[in-house]
């Protein structure tokens, strides 16, 4: 899982249009990535919701999941819940790409 977390970082940096040093991980755990990404999401929720929604669209996060989190999660948990779902989606992409790369 550690390796997969590292493989998600460049995808997240690109989708969120962040500088490389924005998601530097010391422990390379999914929890650490969730915490750092949730802070970025919290900022976007409060200051640039359009950018957050556009990023979620690019990531291909289900609109249903996005709406469910926004409407049902406790306000203080929205950013962390979104971070978890975004990381889960990016992890799925990493797995799929590795699977099909091995077939070539």
At 31-73, the pLDDT tens digits run: 999 999 999 999 999 999 999 999 999 999 999 999 999 999 9
- Percent of the chain at pLDDT > 90 equals 82
The helix (run of H) or strand (run of E) holding residue 29 is none
- Would you give the distance in Å from CA 51 to the centre of its chain? 14
- For the segment 73-94, the average pLDDT, to the nearest whole number, is 96
The structure tokens 């929720």 sit at 45
Check pLDDT > 80 for residue 100. yes
Q: Quick one: pLDDT at residue 104?
A: 61
What pTM, to 2 d.p., does this model score? 0.91
Tokens (6 digits) for 70: 């926004």
Nearest alpha carbon to residue 48 among 57, 60, 40: 40
Distance CA 57, CA 44 (A): 14
Containing domain of residue 70, as a range?
2-103
Number of domains in the chain: 1
């Amino acid at each position: 899982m550690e390796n997969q977390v590292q493989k998600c970082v460049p995808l997240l940096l690109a989708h969120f249009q962040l500088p490389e040093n924005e998601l530097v991980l010391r422990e390379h755990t999914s929890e650490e990535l969730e915490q750092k990404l949730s802070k970025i999401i919290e900022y976007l929720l409060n200051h640039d919701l359009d950018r957050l929604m556009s990023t979620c669209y690019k990531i291909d996060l289900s609109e249903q999941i996005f709406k469910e989190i926004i409407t049902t999660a406790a306000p203080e948990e929205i950013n962390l819940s979104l971070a978890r779902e975004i990381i889960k989606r990016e992890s799925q992409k990493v797995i799929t790409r590795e699977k099909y790369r091995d077939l070539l």
